[in-house]
Amino acid sequence: KNSVKAMEKELATCSLQGKEKAALKTNQIFQMLGGKDLETKVIVVLGKKKSKSILVQKICQDWSNGEFSQFEFVFWFDCKQISLPEKRYSLKDLLLEFFVKPQEGSKEIFEYMLQNPAKVLLVFDGFEELHDHENFPRCLASQSEKDFCSIKELLSGLIQKKILNGCTLLLTARRKDKVYQYVSKVDKTVEIVGFSHQQRELYITKYFEGLPYCDSALKLIKEREYLFSHCYCPVMCRFVCFLCETVLEMGEQSLPSTLTTVFLKFVQQKIITMQTDVTVMQNQDSLATLARIAWYLGEKHQSAMKSDLLPSKEVKEFALKYGLFLPFAFPKHADTGEEEFGSTFSDFVIQNFLGALHLILAEEIKDKSLTKYLSFPSKKKKPFNWLDLMPRFLAGLLFLQDDPYFCSLSNKDVNQSNKKQKTLLKCIRRLQINELCPERLLELLHCIYETESNYLFQHVALRLKPDLSFLGVVLTPPDVHVLHSILKRSTKEFSLDLQNSSIDMQGLKDLVGLRNVTSFRASLSDTVRLWKSLEQTKDYELLRASTEKFVLDPFKAKTMKDISDLSDLVEMQEKMINCVQDGCSSYEISAIKNLRKLEFALGPVCGLQGFLKLVEILAAFPSLQHLDLDALSENGIGDEGAKSLSEVFPTLTSLETLNLSQNKITDVGAEKLATALPSLSSLKTLSLYNNSICDFGAENLAKVLPAMASLRVLDVQYNKITGVGAQQLTDSLRKCPHIKNLVIWNPTIPYGVLEHLQQLDSRISV
């Protein structure tokens, strides 16, 4: 039973690492989906809460205008609306009652969809809104389209292809929600990365276009680099612009410097400047009530509520008046058919802020229990990450108890906040910062940044380990900003691994430009793009420094793009000779010069094509010592690949290990290799394990062994060599005192012959 569970868990995990990434246009989202034609296709869209919903709106709008003609039916469900635990649906009810009810022919339309599932697109927006989605159920084997079940059970049936098999499912989720733990197979993952640096500037310029303070607005926002970095998210960009507009209208000349102070100012301005007929005390009480509701809903992974959750009409009116709530319609009641109305928080970030405010104001939340609501303290504790910005606001608010804005929102005892602040300080001081995983470290850095505490900045900076890896961790512009802020305060030297982190070019430039970042790894395409940009802007100093810091060794090529990027790097080397202003015509990119190990693992489909392209640039790596073509998926370069490689042997003067195992090389390829092998003057280990080499190939290898003075190990086991070929290799071995080991076992060599040969020479391994 346990082994079955373990297997299910393994099958239900989809990793984004190792996948080839490419920029997509909206009309390409449904192209080139893998799997069988008649099976359900699953697309996952990862992004910020509003960003992914905007993309879904665009897809629906484009479909209504004639795009995506492969779909005759498109259904868009907001998981927040359909995930009430007491609600039960059949597939027909969900599609034709809840979403849109046809005037006539419901039965015929539903039957048509069942017979033509490939023409149906189902969009479930906000996977994280499903109640308690950690306990995602396995659907029943007998589940059908007519059964009534919860939305989780229905969605599980769709994902597991028990219901409407052949349709296309599009699931959206926030980046940190591990939706692929609950999906057995993902056909495509689309990641919304947000605005680039230039797009942020364009959005802000357009927002203030025609206003008298248009120029000063962009300058004001860019002066607060942390706020500007958050503008990569369209919703946050609009919010920052709104706040900037308010500040400029009031005649102020600067923006707050952290998210906490920004939202504190936003809430304070809304409530103080707009109050007319209510007292400050009533405002404070209403705000505390909303904060409690924000926290209560957040614990349940919800942001919408029915009206009966609100304690009074006054609180609802307060929230709607000041833009903290929006009206919200729930699904129609099964018995009465009437729609139920409630409210939802106007913005997910507002709910995060109010949730943190509740933890500060609530007397029942004791200071000692506060740390369990932070994301970074312990490896053992499961992080509370549905309200993922809440820990940052919590840390920021704890250091603002003397702030006049904060005091205007609360009538609570300041001493209570002081105790909670001391608890946070104590928690951070106890942390083993150098043992935190990348995600927890980033969360800690964000929390520290929100406190604006020089003591905490210095405390963390001194305790960072010198080798920081963010391999496979998505680094957003705000992540890069807080990391940059901490690193530049440290006196240590750092090595950064930024591979597969989706870091933007500006972020990469900022980090590698730090004097105490002495080396870094990043994706080749991102690095080359940065260097080309520096070349165009004539920033030769940073260009030179970044090329010296870049580390490539060891390099593993898994896709054709990896090979293409490596070729671009070599091409960049040639261009840089002309642009680096040092008068040295033999300037080399350190990463090219120092590459010692290169692994090739493209697999059988692209193996030969990719390898032929790789061979063209191998001579550019003068220090290459280890070339490994042995991959689990078998590259299959064959005789053509072996011939192509043999032609560049004379240029590989440093090569010590050559692994050509499992590549479908026959006698033809072995002959080509043997002819050129003596030119590998440094070769110590040669592996031809598990190919298709016969006696003729063995004979050619035997002839050249005496000429390979540096060779120490030869592995030709699991080929098709018989006793004849084995004898030839043994005879040659007598002339090669430098060789220490010959691995020769082959199923085609009689055991008695092998035993005899081993007695003749103990260097033979079987």
pLDDT tens digits, residue range 565-579? Answer: 999 999 888 776 665
Handedness of CA 273, 276, 282, 286 (dihedral sign): negative
Highest mean pLDDT: which range of 79-83, 124-128, 606-610, 683-687 = 683-687
Q: Where are the domains of the chain?
A: 2-191, 197-255, 278-348, 465-551, 590-765
Strand order in the sheet with 168-173: 73-78, 120-125, 168-173, 41-46, 188-191
Model confidence at 519: pLDDT above 90: yes
What is the pLDDT at residue 3?
Answer: 35
Model confidence at 82: pLDDT above 90: no
Whole-number Å distance between alpha carbons of 471 and 64: 40
697 or 22, greater pLDDT: 697
- pLDDT category of residue 550 using cuts at 50, 70 and 90: very high
CATH superfamily of 590-765: Ribonuclease Inhibitor (3.80.10.10)
In this structure, the strands spanning 339-345 and 325-332 are antiparallel
- pLDDT category of residue 14 using cuts at 50, 70 and 90: very low
User: 40 φ, ψ to 5°?
Assistant: -60, 135
Taking residues 509-526, what's their average pLDDT?
95
Whole-number Å distance between alpha carbons of 481 and 229: 7
Whole-number Å distance between alpha carbons of 749 and 717: 10
Model confidence at 453: pLDDT above 60: yes
Whole-number Å distance between alpha carbons of 257 and 274: 24
Of the candidates 360, 336, 512, 342, the residue with the CA atom closest to the CA atom of residue 450: 360
Helix (H, G, I), strand (E, B) or coil at 468: strand
What is the pLDDT at residue 413?
Answer: 56
Question: Can you name the residues that pair with 764 across neighbouring β-strands?
Answer: 742
Helix (H, G, I), strand (E, B) or coil at 657: strand
User: 216 φ, ψ to 5°?
Assistant: -70, -25
Model confidence at 219: pLDDT above 80: yes
In a 10 Å sphere around its CB, with 0-12 CB exposed, 13-18 middle and 19+ buried, how is residue 73 labelled?
Answer: middle
Rg (CA), the chain: 32
- pLDDT category of residue 26 using cuts at 50, 70 and 90: confident
Q: State whether CATH 3.40.50 applies to domain 2-191.
A: yes
Model confidence at 381: pLDDT above 70: no
Highest mean pLDDT: which range of 9-23, 346-360, 396-410 = 346-360
Could you read off the pLDDT of 148-168 as tens digits, one per residue? 777 788 888 888 888 888 899
Q: Is the distance from CB of 65 to CB of 114 less than 8 angstroms?
A: no
Taking residues 52-58, what's their average pLDDT?
85
